Amino acid sequence: MTRLQRLRSAITAPPRDGFAAAQQHLDSLTKPRGSLGRLEELAARLAVLRAGPPRVAQPVIFTFAADHGVVAEGVAAYPQVVTAQMVENFLRGGAAINVLARQAAARIVIADFGVASPLGPSDALVRRPVGPGTANMARGPAMTRAQAIEAIEQGARLAEEALDAGADLLATGEMGIGNSTAASAITAAVTGLPAEGVTGRGAGADDATLARKIATVRRALALNAPDPGDGLDVLAKVGGFEIGGLAGVILAGAARRVPVAIDGFISGAAALVAVLLAPDARHCLFAAHRSAEPGHAAVLKHLGLEPYLDLGLRLGEGTGAALFIHLARAAALVWSGMATFTSARVSDKA
Amino acid sequence: MTRLQRLRSAITAPPRDGFAAAQQHLDSLTKPRGSLGRLEELAARLAVLRAGPPRVAQPVIFTFAADHGVVAEGVAAYPQVVTAQMVENFLRGGAAINVLARQAAARIVIADFGVASPLGPSDALVRRPVGPGTANMARGPAMTRAQAIEAIEQGARLAEEALDAGADLLATGEMGIGNSTAASAITAAVTGLPAEGVTGRGAGADDATLARKIATVRRALALNAPDPGDGLDVLAKVGGFEIGGLAGVILAGAARRVPVAIDGFISGAAALVAVLLAPDARHCLFAAHRSAEPGHAAVLKHLGLEPYLDLGLRLGEGTGAALFIHLARAAALVWSGMATFTSARVSDKA
């Protein structure tokens, strides 16, 4: 069995009967039943996944970067060199994800999965390039099937290293000029929705760019005909190296029943690929937020996930997932830190 | 001038022209313009209020407790003694607000504004009882006008002490069996909406209790006829001592242009009273979350506030405000901690 086959076969659903016991514990705490709303649902899901008290002590954010050949079609608002420039910014600690990860006491793994422009020397950068950016999916497949497998396995390996070091929550993030075009193509391929329904402005495309972007997604799908039942085929035909890496992070988290916080639209596309490869991976997925990018709603609906935050974010990098960490930690602390009606001698409902 | 008159006259709107400069700063940071959504709006509001970089280093949560004579009408799901029992729980650190305040590195001021049942000795409890609970508003005014003023001024004094010690964000919270009935009556009085539109299940009223609660709100309004243009009259006729105290916190914050995070429905009723007393107080108000309690939507609409979180919370104590502190701090850190396009040498939009 290959590494990917082993991962896929290790992913199973947690026992459903854990929810009743989890809710019973939450109902014993000194608050009206259900009064913490989705924080209780979040705590229960975390507890069921872990088969024990939820714990968010060592969150790790995976911010994977790669370039996309499809930018040659004029689909992006920023020049391709910005991918490399932003990776340098991550490494210097000046990006939004750096600020928000520090606040959340989360470690960031910044990895190059295939940035086209040169990156300077850095000990902090994890170098796992699958290629110098993908090929242009409007002219042929974005990558080979072997590259798709490599991207996933490299991502999974990085997640496994973090898990071995004690990570108890994984979070996804990305950077890649053009990657919202890939995410739209993946979403259209998997959900069957038309390109115009799942393609948005990304980092700020104007009307003409948006029109080109929709036409490009449509052409890439018609040309490559990705098989909507085969996650590897979808990733290879219209995906991206960083998206494959994040699918690997999700599969590695799911295989160990560790929660994975999904950031926005591009991370959501990685989740679509992961769930095609191992449907029970969805039990480990937590949708951090609802992105302003229109295709994200289709991703969430397909995965059956309800986001926890709705702040109109559309930055990526893992920023929404970083904000979600506070909520996940709150849920874990409520679970373990509150008194019970009995211990606090508080009268329960009349 | 009385203390309250001085407070009211000190409250003015911050200059509107601060918003353009704030957005210019946010647009200089290394992210697509507007891509942090409501986190940017939040940062801009904080910056305009402070006329400088936002800062959330010393948040203080005011959790005020008091009892309500209206519980004699059978409107509450829990017995009145739970108010005192929960105050004891706060003092021992076992309630949800203790857990969430610790996580947010916020100090809590736990104050007795009029708890009916005896409270044990405690150095941590701030004792400002205006009376042994309010009178039953279904039989007459909940309190005298002098008591309404006293509650507000005591709350303002506690907030001023915190501000003098460096507090840079105030947050409201409360505990009081029966206080969602008072909040419903305040909301109906101020907005003109019918009782049944703004009265919900509070901590978990069953159908019969909810019907009694609606009838009680209706009777209290008919009997007392609070003047919807006079915040003191509304508070005195159908309010609560802790609600008055929180209105005082809001006024004190507004007078110094310090942000005040409003928790849920009962805190929102305090904000309605505060804004009646000083309309420009609304510039300092930040609606932490959208409560599951149906009357809260009417409060938010009346105040013109859009909540930041929507998690179905209906606990009070300040729990939603505590969760919001993470978002406010994130906004402040983004403002001050990110590199600019120039400093990071990242290419701006093509």
Identify the CATH number of the domain in which residue B26 sits: 1.10.1610.10
- The CATH number of the domain where A111 resides is what? 3.40.50.10210
Q: Could you tell me if A243 and A180 are in contact, meaning their C-beta atoms sit under 8 angstroms apart?
A: no
pLDDT at position B188, please?
A: 98
Cα–Cα distance for residue pair B57/A103, rounded to 1 Å: 12
Cα–Cα distance for residue pair B282/B260, rounded to 1 Å: 9
* Chain-chain contact of A346 with B102 (C-beta, under 8 angstroms): no
Strand pairing category for A126-127 and A169-175: unpaired
Asked if the structure places residue B349 within a domain, the reply is no
For A20, the domain range is 3-54+334-344
Name chain B contacts of A36, Cβ cutoff 8 Å: 96, 311, 313, 315, 319
Whether A66 and A45 map to the same domain: the answer is no
**pLDDT tens profile A77-105:** 999 999 999 999 999 999 999 999 999 99
Whether A45 and A134 map to the same domain: the answer is no
Cα–Cα distance for residue pair B66/B266, rounded to 1 Å: 12
Point out the residue among A39, A311, A330 whose CB comes nearest to the CB of B38.
A311
Whether B66 and B180 map to the same domain: the answer is yes
Total count of domains within chain A? 2
Taking the model in full, what pTM does it have? 0.98
Instruction: Give the burial class of B15: count Cβ atoms within 10 A of its Cβ; 0-12 exposed, 13-18 middle, 19 or more buried.
Output: exposed
Name chain B contacts of A100, Cβ cutoff 8 Å: 330, 333-334
- Residue B144 amino acid letter: T
Catalytically active residues of A, by annotation: 317
pLDDT at position A17, please?
A: 87
- Name beta bridge partners: B340: B29
Asked if the structure places residue A50 within a domain, the reply is yes
Whether A143 and A36 map to the same domain: the answer is no
Estimate the crossing angle of helix B18-27 against helix B37-50, to 10 degrees. Answer: 130
pLDDT at position B71, please?
A: 98
pLDDT at position A243, please?
A: 99
Regions in chain A scoring below 50 on pLDDT: none
Nearest partner of A270 among A213, A186, A150, judged by Cα: A186
Whether B171 and B96 map to the same domain: the answer is yes
A residues 158-217 near B, CB within 8 Å? 203-204
Q: What share of chain B is helix, strand, coil (3-state, %, to 5)?
A: 50, 10, 40
Q: Could you tell me if A286 and A41 are in contact, meaning their C-beta atoms sit under 8 angstroms apart?
A: no
Whether B36 and B143 map to the same domain: the answer is no
Regions in chain B scoring below 70 on pLDDT: 350
Token look-up 């003191």 returns B232
A177 min Cα distance to partner chain B (Å): 11
Asked if the structure places residue A222 within a domain, the reply is yes
Strand pairing category for B285-287 and B260-262: parallel
A268 min Cα distance to partner chain B (Å): 17
Whether B70 and B170 map to the same domain: the answer is yes
Asked if the structure places residue A158 within a domain, the reply is yes
Q: Could you tell me if A301 and A91 are in contact, meaning their C-beta atoms sit under 8 angstroms apart?
A: no
**pLDDT tens profile A314-337:** 999 999 999 999 999 999 999 999
How many Cβ atoms sit within 10 Å of the Cβ of residue B301? 12
* Structure tokens belonging to residue A314: 């559309």
pLDDT at position B233, please?
A: 98
Q: Does B28 touch chain A (CB under 8 A)?
A: no
Question: Residue A79 region, left (φ>0) first, then alpha (ψ -120 to 50), else beta?
Answer: beta
Q: Could you give phi then psi for residue A59, rounded to 5 degrees? A: -75, 145
Whether A105 and A178 map to the same domain: the answer is yes
Token look-up 């505990």 returns B175
Asked if the structure places residue A146 within a domain, the reply is yes
Residue B229: partners with Cβ closer than 8 Å, 6 or more residues away: B276
Continuous H helices in B79-230: 81-92, 96-103, 145-164, 179-191, 195-198, 207-224
Whether A21 and A86 map to the same domain: the answer is no
How many Cβ atoms sit within 10 Å of the Cβ of residue B6? 11
Helix (H, G, I), strand (E, B) or coil at A161: helix
Whether B283 and B159 map to the same domain: the answer is yes
Helix (H, G, I), strand (E, B) or coil at B137: coil
Token look-up 């999916």 returns A137
**Predicted ipTM beyond 0.90:** yes
pLDDT at position B1, please?
A: 81
Q: Does A309 touch chain B (CB under 8 A)?
A: yes
Whether B43 and B90 map to the same domain: the answer is no
Q: Could you tell me if A270 and A252 are in contact, meaning their C-beta atoms sit under 8 angstroms apart?
A: no
Token look-up 């929404």 returns A320
pLDDT at position B17, please?
A: 87
Asked if the structure places residue B350 within a domain, the reply is no
pLDDT at position A16, please?
A: 86
A residues 207-236 near B, CB within 8 Å? none
Asked if the structure places residue A349 within a domain, the reply is no
Max alpha carbon distance in chain B (Å)? 70
Q: Got the DSSP string for B241-287?
A: HHHHHHHHHHHHHHHTT--EEE-SHHHHHHHHHHHHH-GGGGGGEEE
Whether A213 and A305 map to the same domain: the answer is yes
Nearest partner of B239 among B307, B306, B145, B158, judged by Cα: B145
**pLDDT tens profile B315-342:** 999 999 999 999 999 999 999 999 999 9
Q: Does A77 touch chain B (CB under 8 A)?
A: yes
Asked if the structure places residue B178 within a domain, the reply is yes
Convert B176-197 to b/e letters by CB count within 10 Å (16 or more is b): bbbbbbbbbbbbbbbbebebbb
pLDDT at position A54, please?
A: 98
* Structure tokens belonging to residue A2: 């290959």
Residue A163: partners with Cβ closer than 8 Å, 6 or more residues away: A170, A252, A253, A256, A258
